[in-house]
Amino acid sequence: MLVGCLWQNDHLVTVSLGGTISIFSASNLEKSPLQLSGHMKNITSLAVLKSDPKCILSSSYDGLIVKWVQGLGYSGKLQRKENSQIKCFAAAEEEIVTSGFDNKIWRISLHGDQCGDGDSVDIGSQPKDLSLALLSPELALVTTDSGVVMLRGTKVVSTINLGFAVTALVVAPDGSEAIVGGQDGKLHVFCIVGDTLKEEAVLEKHRGAITVIRYSPDFSMFASGDANREAIVWDRVSREVKLKNMLYHTARINCLAWSPNNSMVATGSLDTCVIIYEVDKPASSRMTIKGAHLGGVYALAFTDEHSVVSSGEDACVRVWKLTLQ
């Protein structure tokens, strides 16, 4: 069903009820139209493929996954055979992993612009967060209300009750370590031994529930954000605070991302802003992108040292060019 149209010079433009824009050539109506589309719902996740950092994948609650190419824009929708809702989303080089609201984790092969067959596993409870060991993506950890489920491929190898309310987690790229955040604001550092977790340290600097944790690309640091609007950068080996006083948001931090050269951390918040911090400078020298997304920022990623991608409640994906002082 069409809801709008426009004739501009040689271009006939139509807009469908599903949000697809089709551009026809008035002088050659037999030519296939150029089609542009995007998300209609809140975009909750972004992923940038390491092999092609200009390729951006975004996902929304309604189950839609869209591929974008920096500099070109919309590249197409990734059609899945099982078009279930998406709550958590992660991508490796030739695979995407999703979870929805049906207790299932899906692993789907990715071939360019096409999704292949998918396999799923029911973990028995509602997934809250999902993280892959990017250098060994067979290993995945999924958080539930009270613990962690460890997956190898589509097999549940262990279900671990941690004894506290889990709110966020991240797995080290090589699968050797995991950090789990709790409702109480504590960060629990675990060594992954076989198919279980061995607690090594508990870090207590946050004053609100942990909302997001991410390792730096070189695995030397990690950053965490909380519901009390604070972010902290930590040294991974010493587990000491490396950058503090990152308190410039006015609402909960929803997401964060590292630059490829490990020098910057970007945070996104419910307050609609993105803030970029340089790790070797005081937090007060931050760069703020105000009003990045109406309704809040929910996902961030860097494509290079000078470009950060954001998405949010407004169903938009934006690329920002950074000019550092």
Taking only the tens place, the pLDDT of each residue in 83-132 is: 778 888 998 878 899 998 889 999 988 877 778 788 899 998 889 999 99
Shared domain for 25 and 89, answered yes or no, is no
On whether residue 148 sits in a domain, the answer given is no
On whether residue 191 sits in a domain, the answer given is no
Query: CB–CB of 197/222 below 8 Å?
Result: no
On whether residue 47 sits in a domain, the answer given is yes
On whether residue 66 sits in a domain, the answer given is yes
**Domain carrying residue 21:** 1-36
Residue with tokens 């010079």: 9
Q: Strand 139-143's sheet: what is its strand order?
A: 129-132, 139-143, 147-152, 155-161
Shared domain for 31 and 47, answered yes or no, is no
On whether residue 258 sits in a domain, the answer given is no
On whether residue 134 sits in a domain, the answer given is no
The CATH number given to whatever domain includes residue 52 is 2.40.10
Handedness of CA 145, 95, 177, 233 (dihedral sign): negative
Cα–Cα distance, 60 to 20 (Å, whole number):
16
Domain count, the chain: 2
On whether residue 283 sits in a domain, the answer given is no
* Least confident interval from 4-8, 214-218, 261-265: 4-8
Q: For the segment 291-309, what is each residue's pLDDT rounded down to a tens digit?
A: 999 999 999 999 999 999 9
Cβ within 8 Å of residue 75, ≥6 positions away: 55, 66, 67, 68, 69, 113
Shared domain for 47 and 25, answered yes or no, is no
pLDDT surpasses 70 at 325:
no
Residue at a domain's end among 66, 90, 122: 122
On whether residue 189 sits in a domain, the answer given is no
| Other C-beta atoms lying within 10 Å of the C-beta of residue 301 | 23
